[in-house]
């Protein structure tokens, strides 16, 4: 009899547990349905949402799908809170895992898939955005949880000119003494026009310092940039930044593994008007014709509307490739040259104008000039063509003269042909028709490509 009472009691407890569990499931389903209805009223169409846990201090969701076609998806979302602070919207922790965000272009605007109607009916207001002080801890505490963790988020961007996939992990939190932000990314891919860019790991670490400025570093050990038909450049980037409520300042260092590509730049950008800022290139260097081409102290306005002036320096550049481009393949040679050429880039036309400058030989060498570069049938021209077939120069200059419209390039050489009966040194001045400007533009100043890439088609 005693054993029967015990068994009966256990059965009652088990049945009560089953009933409580069933009612909990129904309660969670009702809560999920109410939330879907609430979001729907805000023009956020939720196709799927499950409430896994709902207590007076924690709620956990899964399988969230917002939208119908290209969706916004969140696999897991968990938050904890204090009921006394929840009324004001304050959360203790917010953790999200496995997120898919799709951004696309339509009618010249970028939209977030699944949130189109919500954003259309709730446009961002400049005054509201300006009222948020992102460098003040008290202001941040009002809008952010004490700890925010986002894992395995993937942002896809597609437009007429750009395709990109950006994986992100975010870790943000308020500590007793400082506010910390960490952002990491792996294998960022971007395709734009005829460029392809891929990265390895990207790491951003920042703290909100005592002067109410975000201070941090960004390190990208590998960025591979490929232009259609060209070799791939593999560079690393180190960036130290200071972000206040008003301005972003950054020191940027770029180099490749061979240390042949180098750049030292300073960025200044007002937060309220980014295009009014500027990028000051302290020094930049690229490999060109075996040697290097470089420049320094170049100021680049971010609005891309003002002329950009620079002095391009050739450092031990291979003469053969340079003359080949300047003469459309009609001159071949040995040796190296160095020199300086002032240039002006006009963003409106996308053209580069060479100013007066010159490059001189570093070592003596030999050049061979194609006869078709010196047309004519008189005796002097025949002698010149014969002499220049195997001309051993002792002096060589590439001269540039220019006006407001165009640049003229000439080759001045002095030497002799050892096979010629003339033993005295002779001098020649040869006008060149090749496009050195195009070569420079493709090598170190693809600014017009960037401008066209960022410009929205109308």
Q: Summarize the confidence of residues 90-104 as an average pLDDT.
A: 90
pLDDT higher than 50, residue 173: yes
Q: For residue 406, what pLDDT is reported?
A: 64
Reported as a single tens digit per residue, the pLDDT across 42-81 is 677 888 888 888 787 888 889 988 887 668 899 998 988 8
pLDDT at site 55: 80
Q: Where are the domains of the chain?
A: 281-458
What's the rounded Cα separation, in Å, for the pair 90 and 36?
Answer: 21
pLDDT at 127: 47
> What per-residue confidence (pLDDT) applies to 86?
67
What pLDDT digit, counting tens, does each position of 234-255 carry?
899 999 999 999 999 999 999 9
Residue 399's region, left for phi above 0, alpha for psi from -120 to 50, else beta, is beta
Per-residue model confidence (pLDDT) at position 356:
77
CA-wise closest residue to 92 among 79, 106, 77, 110: 79
At 21 the pLDDT is 40
Task: Round to whole Å and give the CA distance between 10 and 285.
Answer: 81
Q: Is the pLDDT of residue 129 over 60?
A: no
Question: Which pLDDT score, from 0 to 100, does residue 35 have?
Answer: 62
Q: How much is the average pLDDT of 115-126?
A: 70
What's the pTM? 0.77
Question: pLDDT tens, 438-453?
Answer: 544 444 444 444 444 4
Q: What is the pLDDT of residue 448?
A: 42
* Residue 291 or 127, more confident: 291
Whether residue 431 contacts residue 419, with contact meaning beta carbons closer than 8 Å, is answered with no
Comparing 291 with 450, the larger pLDDT belongs to 291
The pLDDT tens digits of the residues spanning 305-324 come to 888 898 988 888 888 877 77
- Report which of residues 384 and 201 the model is more confident about: 201
């Amino acid at each position: 009899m005693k054993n029967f009472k015990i068994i009966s009691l256990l059965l009652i407890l088990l049945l009560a547990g089953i009933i409580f569990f069933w009612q909990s499931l129904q309660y969670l389903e009702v809560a999920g349905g109410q939330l879907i209805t609430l979001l729907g009223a805000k023009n956020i169409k939720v196709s799927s949402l499950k409430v896994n846990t709902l207590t007076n201090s924690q709620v956990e969701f899964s399988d969230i799908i917002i939208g119908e076609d290209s969706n916004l998806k969140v696999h897991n979302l968990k938050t904890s809170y204090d009921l006394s602070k929840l009324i004001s919207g304050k959360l203790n922790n917010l953790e999200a895992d496995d997120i898919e965000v799709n951004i696309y272009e339509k009618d010249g605007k970028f939209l977030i898939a699944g949130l189109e109607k919500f954003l259309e009916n709730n446009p961002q207001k400049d005054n509201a955005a300006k009222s948020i002080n992102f460098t003040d801890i008290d202001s941040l505490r009002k809008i952010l949880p004490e700890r925010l963790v986002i894992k395995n988020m993937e942002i896809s961007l597609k437009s007429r000119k750009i395709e990109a996939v950006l994986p992100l992990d975010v870790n943000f939190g308020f500590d007793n003494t400082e506010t910390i932000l960490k952002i990491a990314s792996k294998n960022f891919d971007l395709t734009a026009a005829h460029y392809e860019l891929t990265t390895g790991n990207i790491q951003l670490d920042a703290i909100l310092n005592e002067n109410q400025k975000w201070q941090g570093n960004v390190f990208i050990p590998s960025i591979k940039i490929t232009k259609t038909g060209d070799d791939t450049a593999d560079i690393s980037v180190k960036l130290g930044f200071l972000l206040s409520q008003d301005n972003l300042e950054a020191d940027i260092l770029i180099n490749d593994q061979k240390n042949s590509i180098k750049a030292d730049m300073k960025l200044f950008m007002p937060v309220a008007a980014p295009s009014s800022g500027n990028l000051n290139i302290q020094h930049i260097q690229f490999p060109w014709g075996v040697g290097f081409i470089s420049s320094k102290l170049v100021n680049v306005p971010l609005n891309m509307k003002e002329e950009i002036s620079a002095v391009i320096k050739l450092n031990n550049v291979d003469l053969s490739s340079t003359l080949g481009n300047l003469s459309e393949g009609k001159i071949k040679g040995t040796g190296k040259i160095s020199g300086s050429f002032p240039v002006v880039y006009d963003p409106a036309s996308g053209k580069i104008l060479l100013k007066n400058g010159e490059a001189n030989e570093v070592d003596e060498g030999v050049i061979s000039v194609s006869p078709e570069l010196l047309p004519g049938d008189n005796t002097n021209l025949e002698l010149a063509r014969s002499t220049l077939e195997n001309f051993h120069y002792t002096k060589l200059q590439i001269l540039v003269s220019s006006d407001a419209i165009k640049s003229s390039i000439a080759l001045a050489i002095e030497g002799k042909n050892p096979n010629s009966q003339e033993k005295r040194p002779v001098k020649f001045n040869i006008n060149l028709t090749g496009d050195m400007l195009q070569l420079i533009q493709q090598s170190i100043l693809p600014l017009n490509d960037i401008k066209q890439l960022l410009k929205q088609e109308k």
